[in-house]
């Protein structure tokens, strides 16, 4: 599945991205359409389409993603002011790329979230 998404292409370096972190399990790069001064996407290298598809034996994937984001926030001096992490799931959740990913938003006070109506 990852191979079929734009994020798979980024992981394989088939299309460019502003990559800010990569290790064995996770790649992180700046969102092409940032919704905050800092907007970074954390994508596991495991092929999982949505949060719905994470099985109990893959809970380490979620832990790794969240901890990678928290580590990045500390590294970039964002942790004390604060930040938001978001995982959108399926259409009503606003998911547009069907490879599991976590958004890290920071750099300015963030508004409340909810429906678009």
Residue 31 lies near ligand 5GP (rule: CB under 6 A): yes
95 binds ligand 5GP (CB under 6 A): yes
- Say whether residue 108 binds ligand 5GP (CB under 6 A): no
Token pair recorded at residue 16: 């460019």
Our finding on whether 88 is near ligand 5GP (CB under 6 A) is yes
Residue 107 neighbours by CB under 8 Å, 6+ apart: 36, 37, 38, 78
Closer CB to ligand 5GP, 56 or 105, in the complex: 105
H helix intervals, the chain: 6-11, 59-75
The only residue of 26, 29, 61, 83 in contact with ligand 5GP, by rule CB under 6 A? 29
């Amino acid at each position: 599945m990852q191979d079929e998404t734009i994020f798979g292409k980024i992981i394989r370096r088939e299309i460019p991205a502003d990559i800010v972190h990569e290790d064995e399990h996770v790649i992180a790069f700046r969102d092409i359409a940032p919704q905050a001064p800092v907007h970074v996407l954390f994508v596991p290298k495991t092929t999982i389409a949505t949060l719905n598809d994470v099985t109990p034996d893959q809970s380490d994937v979620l832990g790794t993603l969240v901890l990678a984001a928290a580590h990045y926030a500390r590294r970039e001096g964002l942790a004390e002011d604060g930040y938001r992490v978001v995982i959108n799931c399926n259409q009503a959740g606003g998911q547009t790329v069907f490879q599991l990913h976590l958004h890290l938003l920071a750099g300015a006070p963030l508004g409340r979230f909810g429906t678009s109506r």
